[in-house]
Amino acid sequence: MIKVCSRLFLLVAIFFIAYTQLAKGQHQPRHDCQSRCGNVTIEYPFGISTGCYYPGDDIFNITCQEDKPHVIENIEVRNFYHSGQLRAMLPRSTVCYDGETNNEFSALWFQLDNLSLSTKNKFTLVGCNAWALLSTFGIQNYSTGCLSLCDSPSVPNNKCNGVGCCRTDVSIPLDSNRLEIQPARFENMTSVQHFNPCSYAFFVEDGMFNFSSTEDLRNLRGVKQFPVVLDWSIGNQTCEQAGSRNICGGNSTCFDSTRGKGYNCKCLDGFEGNPYLSDGCQDINECTTTSTIHKHNCSDPKTCRNRDGGFDCKCRSGYRLDTSTMSCKRKDFGWAMILLVTTIVFLVILLGVSYIKQKLRRRKDTELRQQFFEKNGGGMLIQRLTGAGPSNVDVKIFTEEGMKEATNGYDENRILGQGGQGTVYKGILPDSSIVAIKKARLGDRSQVEQFINEVLVLSQINHRNVVKLLGCCLETEVPLLVYEFITSGTLFDHLHGSMFDSSLTWEHRLRIAIEVAGTLAYLHSSASIPIIHRDVKTANILLDDNLTAKVADFGASRLIPMDQEQLTTMVQGTLGYLDPEYYNTGLLNEKSDVYSFGVVLMELLSGQKALCFERLETSKHLVSYFVSAMKENRLHEIIDGQVMNEYNQREIQEAAKIALECTRLMGEERPRMKDVAAELEALRIKTTKHKWSDQYRTEVEHLLGVQVLSAQGDTSSIGYDSIKNVAILDIEAGR
């Protein structure tokens, strides 16, 4: 009797448990279910045999073929995810063209039933001059597609951007249960057939296909299937509709599927496992796990205490947990709290005082920079620039801090030169460009006017042989001007200095003279407002790597109004170059620059300084020395030995005559710079012509001999060279 009652009680208990599970909807798999198919793990609600998968939908019935799991329509599955997704392999659709017709065409369609394409997929087409259409069928039909064009396998890049490959997002209606892919080619596209005979359309998970024009346009690297993410869910009800009948197990929660129907399950925080099993979600022991995601953050592992769904850091008696460091601190009260409050109050007061001092200092610095700006003529500069006519220079305003960094704190090793206008430093800007920074002399108030004047003058000039002004800084105690950096020093350095080897040939010197003369002619005649340089000298002529002349230092220059031919100004210039008429009368005109240029031309010819106290009393000034040599017919004695040769004596003598004309005492007797530039240019043409003529004559004499030419009749006449006191051949007729 007792045995019968025991068996009856056992059957009732089994029936009650089964009824409870069915009432809640928690169907559970058998314990002997196959859990693997090849290398893929099969977990509930998916299963391979009856009783091992959730019976509510056939999509959970997995067929294991050749050690590969498959769902409906023989779709191979690579991974199952509890979150409501699986990764499957779907075939491609192909269309091939044999030059006249499509000789291969395969449009694919998929019956997904209760599976849905995830938005993580891309609808992709690979091919040239092709298009692909995606159609879905359900309660609401939907179509989309893309177009790919190209005529060469050398696609500009390997991006799927419509050239050889195109793609579009997969955002089909949730109720779609049938999909169709149909690729197509434009007809008569024989130009691409040899490298792209086929076009392919397919779904692929985003990031799982990288297009390569050289590998994919021919045969898609032989790939016939691509990974695709499919969404699945339990039933057709939401979590709210299913209520307690959902199949989510213990320590899990239900969430509505992104498909728009059905639901999925997930383990609660602190648990892991299969949420679709009644006891599938197990507690994670954060104190012992090696997973970095779920590991505890207690500073001392000994204080970690595991609990269901989490952990605690337990401190021993007398200690408290510091949540910022997750470490145990001794419980301190009283004086420690007072000290903490006092420290905080002190820090607040200190920060407040520091903030106020910083604001006052910043305001004071701003006011000081503004004072310097006004003191250095910032207002005057703005006023003159706005009223001086059209400007050719974009003047940039540099900061005081930027100038300090560029010159390394105005380091003496950065000094390029010093003169009457101030000091010039080599500067390196943040973009690594090298500039020349000109700093006025401290305490010389007249320099401010000259610096502002230089900015004003250079703003009117746009010439390749004038040093370019890049900007200025007026926030410092003395103003700064920033110029382009000219690499090869001044003409004075090349002629008289020790920095450079004086190897300027006659051609170099003549070209430099022409460039300077042309620049001065431009300033006098072609600038928007006529400009007189007023300090033309070899120290103000810079040379770049190509020995191209750059006229610099316009601090003493003056703008001449269009209705005036001369100005009355305070005499300013450099001894040795200063126009004597301007010195005596104070009347400034363009002939003053002509005189200074004549001195520069004499320096180029003789290689001697404009003013030298080592020469005789009557010849200390180069002009007097030059005039005396010309009158006494001994010009060859003062010409630089590196300049004169047997081929250029006449040209040098003509250049010397031009220099004498430029340095006449009366300004009205001097030529204009425009005429000087033209004469020098004509002289260069003549020099070039002589050079070729002399080379030709030398070659002929070398081949035939001088006697042969004499026998045939020499038309040259013998003349006398007054420069070297020797006889010369007159070949003027042959030039």
Supply the CATH classification number for the domain 289-341: 2.10.25.10
The per-residue pLDDT for 496 is 86
Catalytic (active site) residue 730: no
Q: Is the pLDDT of residue 256 over 90?
A: yes
According to DSSP, the β-strands at 130-137 and 142-148 are: antiparallel
Tell me what pLDDT residue 226 has.
Answer: 95
* H helix intervals, 434-505: 445-458, 491-496
The answer for residues whose C-beta is within 8 angstroms of residue 432's C-beta and 6 or more apart is none
For residue 414, pLDDT beyond 60: yes
| pLDDT at site 40 | 94
Q: Which residues of 687-697 are buried (b: 16+ CB within 10 A; e: fewer)?
A: beebeeebeee
Q: What DSSP character marks residue 525?
A: I
Give every CB contact of residue 246 below 8 A, 6+ residues apart in sequence: 24, 25, 234, 239, 254, 263, 265
% of residues, the chain, pLDDT over 90: 33
Average pLDDT over residues 198-208: 93
Rounded CA separation 306/310 (Å): 6
Superfamily of domain 489-735: Transferase(Phosphotransferase) domain 1 (1.10.510.10)
Q: Is the pLDDT of residue 298 over 60?
A: yes
What 3-state DSSP class applies to 225? strand
Question: For residue range 318-342, what is the model confidence (pLDDT) as tens digits?
Answer: 788 888 888 888 776 657 677 888 8
> Where does the pLDDT of residue 264 fall: very low under 50, low under 70, confident under 90, or very high at 90 and above?
very high
Collect all residues with Cβ–Cβ distance below 8 Å to 32 and sequence separation of at least 6.
none
608 pLDDT more than 60: yes
Catalytic residue among 216, 535, 593, 640: 535
Q: What is the pLDDT of residue 720?
A: 30
Q: Which one is the CATH code of 365-485: 3.40.50.80, 2.102.10.10, 3.40.50.720, 3.30.200.20?
A: 3.30.200.20
pLDDT digits (tens, 9 = 90+) for 104-141: 677 788 777 788 888 899 999 998 888 999 988 877 78
Domains 365-485 and 489-735 share a fold: no
CA distances from 103 to 94, 107, 185, 222, 484 (A): 11, 13, 11, 18, 69
For the chain, the domains span 85-231, 289-341, 365-485, 489-735
